[in-house]
Amino acid sequence: EIVLTQSPDFQSVTPKEKVTITCRASQSVGSSLHWYQQKPDQSPKLLIKFASQSISGVPSRFSGSGSGTDFTLTINGLEAEDAAMYYCHQSSSLLTFGGGTKVEIK
């Protein structure tokens, strides 16, 4: 089973700041790494697919990068509505999720 380790677990950020969340896989997943946003009492919402591919309707301030075992989700210019949990997910071998990163607005 591929383990995904996210860091940090929690981040408190001022609006308009840049947010960086990392996801490290225990073995290579190629580019089969995806990012979701989950707000309280909502289902997860797909933000980025295949490490860096954008999703229609998702604001351009969200971007992803990486390949193999190390990946990054970046939010350029945090907005209040971005307060949420963020999860990475790999679809390379079986299916696993990272532990999540909570982003709070200062």
Partner 1 sequence: QLQLQESGPGLVRPSETLSLTCTISGGSISNYYWSWIRQPAGKGLEWVGRISPSGIIIYNPSLKSRVTVSVDTSQNRFTLKLSSVTAADTAVYYCARQVSGTPFDSWGQGTLVTVSS
Question: Residue numbers of the site for partner 1 (CB under 8 A)?
Answer: 1, 32, 34, 36, 38, 43-44, 46, 49-50, 87, 89, 91-92, 94-100
Task: Indicate the residue among 68 and 99 with the shorter CB distance to partner 1.
Answer: 99
Is 11 within 8 Å of 65 (Cβ atoms)? no
Distance CA 31, CA 70 (A): 10
CB of 80 to partner 1, least distance (A): 22
Query: Is 36 exposed, middle or buried, given 0-12, 13-18 or 19+ CB atoms closer than 10 A?
Result: buried
CB of 2 to partner 1, least distance (A): 11
CB of 94 to partner 1, least distance (A): 7
Which DSSP symbol is given to 80? G
